[in-house]
Amino acid sequence: MQRLSTTTLVLLGSAVWLGLAPIGRAQSALTITSDTLTADLPDTLTFALQADNAARITDVQLNYGVNARSCQEGAASQAPEFTPGTAIEASWTLDLRDTGSFPVGAELWWNWEVSDDAGAVTTTERRTQRLEDERFSWRTTTRGAVTVAWHQGDQAFGEALAAIAASSLTRITRDAGLELADPIRIYVYPDPAEIAQVILFQPEWVGGLAFPEHNIVMAAIAPGEDAWAREVLPHELMHLVSGALTFNCLGARMPTWLSEGLSRFAEDNVDPALAAQVREMALAGTLPHLSALANAFSAYGGEARVSYEQSLQVVAFLIETHGAEKMSALLDAIAAGTAIDAALTRVYGLTTYTLDSAWRESFGAPTREAAVATPLTVPTLALWTAVARSSSTPAPSDTPLPGVTETPAPVIESTPRPVESPTAAAPGGGLAPCGAGAAALVVVSGALRRRRVGA
Ligand SMILES: [Zn+2]
């Protein structure tokens, strides 16, 4: 028997499956001797089957998928190469460089259809495996809907992270009116480089990644970085919540100002100097119109910080003026496939244009003409955190998600995409614009310096 690596979920021993033979044909007994999924992160996942059968096995098909929100058909199928016979070994490797990475903690499932020359077709029992990062020995703690996994730091560190996450979700529900009932998993690494080693196309300094389709956050927080934890966890958790609540297959999505404004709102972290700067720019008529923040933020740190702060202030204005329930209704409308202006009109009686004016007027700033939205170029400065649109698309040949074509180009242009595949525009590995909040960006540069110097 082949040696199985430690990252293998093993269904060893023998299991016998009765074939579902067509009437009039003999049933066949298939004996599974090994049925495994082996991860070799970040590059590949390999499904492997060893089986014996009384009759000669002539055909094997693998069906697999991921348990995540997706607009795709649930399953992909592959025909692995194998040598027909009464004892077979079949395997098929999913190349994540084509499909994009799954987050650590993603749940994959698979089964096999085995046909023999007696006419029996046997479908093996569906297996499910969570993708774990087995380089480290993880501790976990669960508080409410949140499970935190960490591998460096003591129990108190993990408990503190879980407490931050739980209170953040409580605040997101109480203050912003948004609630996600699904279980959430947070994987905490002490060093961003460790995340980049298992998630493709990530810069080594990415501080937090939200995978809304999977309800998973991966974050780089070292023991002792409490202030950073209080920024990055609420920010990324809000991306999970807002991403889940607006999920739809109709092409409607949150504009960047709404997504990032909500995540900054969740941080509960004010930067008075930056807040004052944004208001002064608005009063002077130099602050961009909200419509310019629909798709991407500038990659220049200073401009991006202003955009995050402006987004935060507009979101806070909506919530404080109209109540948290309406924010929930706004996300519901987007989830129902309503484009942002129609959704704003339905819930608030506003459009992006009149919202921008109402917000400016609330502190005496002059209104502005809406800019003709021109795509922002540039992204040379990668932002600290990101929303990963991870692959929930096991089959690279599948059609991209509806709406994905409207997804702005990755902000992190310095992240190379080594594989030019037909799925380049598909969810795999792409990054939606994100970044830390303004305050987090400040922390970031500090953290980067510290990490470069210290470690
Ligand atoms: Zn963000």
Q: How far apart are CA 140 and CA 153, in angstroms?
A: 12
Q: Is residue 177 included in any domain, yes or no?
A: yes
Asked if the model's pLDDT at residue 278 lies above 90, the reply is yes
Are 340 and 384 in a shared domain? yes
The whole-number average pLDDT for the span 398-413 is 26
Q: Is residue 106 included in any domain, yes or no?
A: yes
pLDDT value for 4:
32
Tokens linked to 239? 């991306």
Are 148 and 84 in a shared domain? no
Return the half-sphere exposure (C-beta side, CA atoms, 13 A cut-off) of residue 396.
16
Distance 432 CA to ligand 1 centre (A): 9
Distance 263 CA to ligand 1 centre (A): 6
Please, are residues 394 and 94 in contact by the beta-carbon 8 Å criterion? yes
Q: How far apart are CA 69 and CA 46, in angstroms?
A: 23
The whole-number average pLDDT for the span 3-18 is 33
Distance 215 CA to ligand 1 centre (A): 15
pLDDT tier for residue 204 given thresholds of 50, 70 and 90: confident
Please, are residues 88 and 82 in contact by the beta-carbon 8 Å criterion? yes
Distance 235 CA to ligand 1 centre (A): 6
Q: Is residue 224 included in any domain, yes or no?
A: yes
Distance 144 CA to ligand 1 centre (A): 23
pLDDT value for 73:
72
Distance 387 CA to ligand 1 centre (A): 7
Which has the minimum average pLDDT: 5-14, 145-154, 443-452? 443-452
Environment class of residue 1 by beta-carbon count within 10 Å: exposed (0-12), middle (13-18) or buried (19+)? exposed
- When the pLDDT of each residue in the chain is averaged and rounded to a whole number, the result is 79
pTM of the model: 0.76
Please, are residues 376 and 296 in contact by the beta-carbon 8 Å criterion? yes
pLDDT value for 47:
97
Please, are residues 34 and 48 in contact by the beta-carbon 8 Å criterion? yes
Are 40 and 66 in a shared domain? yes
Q: How far apart are CA 187 and CA 127, in angstroms?
A: 23
Tokens linked to 283? 């009063």
Please, are residues 112 and 31 in contact by the beta-carbon 8 Å criterion? no
CA angle 1–27–64, rounded 5-degree value: 55
The whole-number average pLDDT for the span 65-76 is 87
Please, are residues 90 and 78 in contact by the beta-carbon 8 Å criterion? no
Residue after which a domain boundary falls, among 91, 109, 130: 130
pLDDT value for 51:
97
Asked if the model's pLDDT at residue 146 lies above 90, the reply is yes
Distance 279 CA to ligand 1 centre (A): 22
Are 206 and 346 in a shared domain? yes
pLDDT tier for residue 13 given thresholds of 50, 70 and 90: very low
Q: Greater confidence, 190 or 370?
A: 190
Q: Which domain holds residue 408?
A: 139-454
The whole-number average pLDDT for the span 98-110 is 94
Asked if the model's pLDDT at residue 331 lies above 80, the reply is yes
Are 192 and 285 in a shared domain? yes
Q: Is residue 1 included in any domain, yes or no?
A: no
Number of other CB atoms surrounding residue 417 within 10 Å: 16
Environment class of residue 123 by beta-carbon count within 10 Å: exposed (0-12), middle (13-18) or buried (19+)? middle
pLDDT value for 23:
38
Distance 257 CA to ligand 1 centre (A): 10
Handedness of CA 183, 188, 192, 195 (dihedral sign): negative
The whole-number average pLDDT for the span 101-125 is 96
Are 75 and 183 in a shared domain? no
> Which residue is associated with the tokens 């960490």?
150
Are 46 and 176 in a shared domain? no
Q: Is residue 2 included in any domain, yes or no?
A: no
Q: Greater confidence, 301 or 85?
A: 85
CATH number at residue 33: 2.60.40.10
Q: How far apart are CA 35 and CA 55, in angstroms?
A: 20
Distance 75 CA to ligand 1 centre (A): 30
CATH number at residue 338: 1.10.390
Distance 436 CA to ligand 1 centre (A): 5
Q: How far apart are CA 189 and CA 337, in angstroms?
A: 36
pLDDT value for 427:
29
Q: Is residue 3 included in any domain, yes or no?
A: no
Which are the contacts of 400, defined by CB distance < 8 A and separation ≥ 6?
393, 423, 425, 426, 427
Residue 187: phi, psi to the nearest 5? Answer: -105, 120
Are 81 and 146 in a shared domain? no
Q: Is residue 25 included in any domain, yes or no?
A: yes
Distance 437 CA to ligand 1 centre (A): 7
Are 246 and 346 in a shared domain? yes
Distance 306 CA to ligand 1 centre (A): 14
Distance 234 CA to ligand 1 centre (A): 10
Helix ranges, 66-186 (H):
96-99, 155-176
Which has the minimum average pLDDT: 80-84, 265-269, 313-317, 331-335? 265-269
Number of other CB atoms surrounding residue 52 within 10 Å: 16
pLDDT in tens, 210-256: 999 999 999 999 999 999 999 999 999 999 999 999 999 999 999 99
DSSP, residue by residue, 401-450: PTTGGGSPPPS-TTS------TTTTSSTTEEES----HHHHHHHHHHHHH
Distance 440 CA to ligand 1 centre (A): 10
Are 375 and 443 in a shared domain? yes
Distance 434 CA to ligand 1 centre (A): 4
Tokens linked to 205? 């300094």
pLDDT tier for residue 372 given thresholds of 50, 70 and 90: low
pLDDT tier for residue 368 given thresholds of 50, 70 and 90: confident
Count how many domains the chain has.
2
Q: How far apart are CA 319 and CA 14, in angstroms?
A: 58
Distance 342 CA to ligand 1 centre (A): 24
Residue after which a domain boundary falls, among 113, 130, 147: 130
pLDDT in tens, 378-399: 332 333 445 554 433 332 222 2
Are 123 and 146 in a shared domain? no
Residue after which a domain boundary falls, among 75, 97, 130: 130
Q: Is residue 82 included in any domain, yes or no?
A: yes
Are 95 and 241 in a shared domain? no
Distance 212 CA to ligand 1 centre (A): 12
